[in-house]
Structure 1
């Protein structure tokens, strides 16, 4: 199975496989959303099935919850578990301080709530997600549908006084209709190209009426696990100031992702 993976999927897979090493028996684990996080959920399901560890998952989207149930990871709500030991998620961008842009999958609100309700957040990524300065990836902003065009205009006006290179916002679409989050909200993608002061931008964005949350995850991530297509991983721990390099053994098994729908 793993021999058939593309280089980018092999990189995501080894990062995910290394990240689930942090999961211990009895933990309450936040499960991210997106293509990289999906590999993590599958790997977590494998160790639940093969090793019998007990975990409680809290999903950051309905599609992650569906996948977790398929692979045998029990799911409960955040209100039920209250607090999490660990959240593992992907990122659209990360910088050297492990600040992130997230929300490419449209689940930024639940992802941020779950991440901040965790003792530790681990991000899994491939090397292409690393940037010197955040902003190349469009910044998602979740807004309520009512008056969204006014909210968009207010955001673009605000951006004229912010240290960014681009100032256009676009409504995310699903076919010909606005994309809807699990909460029924819209997503505006801000094409900024470079964000000079992420802290300032995050604060000002969330003060605009109609904005629910933005995709800047600042001072939340503790560890990033970077996977490479050759099976090597780099683990950066921002709190300990350590960088470790490892190789993950990739073993083809007949039942690795059995009965998991695409």
Structure 2
């Protein structure tokens, strides 16, 4: 029940609830991965059941696909959809220009493909995700397993000439084994602390042999919906240059998310 949620979870809930209103019947919608995106999927499932909303969802991970089917959303692949009206996803960090770090959930490759195949990308986040400069959250880089230690060495060498504060890289683990993405790849997390030039870093990282994609989303996000623990929601549109505020009321009996 929302009345039992922490302030951070309430903030995620109201952002997701507000963003779910952007979806209209007949749309093809990219569905993100992560804790905030899971709230969104639940909210959309509620609209499917209670309002008769009919749309096709393109999930960015197997776990999002499972949740979407569970709540009654029609799931299709990106190849079937070909192009999307909208993608709604979370972010690990976003700055004032709506540049993002994503990939904390390990789905950055599918997330970036889906987001860039959309007319619009909307990010949903709690206020703590906003930063002045990207980089405090470790930057994920997806690499193929073959020769990953060589890719890691090349990444660390490349960071020497970049405008960053730290150069430590670590292999993401799942228990005692390497974390495996949906595409069967590894993730190296770059602990850079601060990224002075995200655009340059994104370009350099993707030139390194073995690197599949990085978690910097530059010039991809169109709007961010920011939730607060008291129910306030702020929506920023980078293209229109507008900022709006409203409020989402909590329903104490709402148990949409009690099993998340």
TM-score, normalising length: structure 2: 0.98
Structure 1 stretch 242-251 or stretch 164-173: which is displaced more? Answer: 242-251
Structure 2 partner of 1:98:
98
Unaligned runs of 5+ in 1: none
Q: 2: distance between equivalents of 1:75 and 1:25?
A: 14
Following superposition, the deviation at residue 250 of structure 1 comes to 1.5
- 2:222 is equivalent to residue 222 of structure 1: yes
Q: For residues 65-123 of structure 1, what are the alpha-carbon distances to aligned partners after superposition, in whole Å with 9 as ceiling and x for unaligned?
A: 00001111110000001000000000000000000000000000000000000000000
Q: Return structure 1 stretches of 4+ with deviation > 2 angstroms.
A: none
Partner residue of 1:69? 69
Structure 1 Cα separation of the partners of residues 210 and 168 of structure 2: 17
Shift of 1:50: 0.5
| 2: CA distance, partners of 1:97 / 1:172 | 28
Q: How many angstroms does 1:261 deviate by? A: 4.9
Name the SS of the counterpart of 2:226 in structure 1.
strand
CA distance in 2, matches of 1:84, 1:133: 30
1:55 matches 2:55: yes
Residue 257 of structure 1 deviates from its aligned partner by 2.0
Which residue of 1 is the match for residue 155 of structure 2?
A: 155
In 2, Cα distance between equivalents of 1:6 and 1:136: 23
- Provide the C-alpha distance between the structure 1 equivalents of 2:179 and 2:157, rounded to a whole number of angstroms: 23
Tell me what 1:177 maps to: 177
Counting matched residue pairs gives: 260
Q: State the match for 1:257 in structure 2.
A: 256
Give 1:151 shift: 0.2
Match of 2:139 in 1: 139
RMSD: 1.0
Q: Normalising by the residue count of structure 1, what TM-score does the alignment of the two structures yield?
A: 0.97
Equivalents in 2 of 1:253, 1:164: separation in Å? Answer: 47
How far apart are the structure 1 equivalents of 2:252 and 2:48? 18
3-state DSSP of counterpart to 1:221: coil
Distance in 2, matches of 1:34 and 1:43, equals 14
Counterpart CA distance in 2 for 1:83 and 1:26 is 13
Gaps of 5+ in 2: none
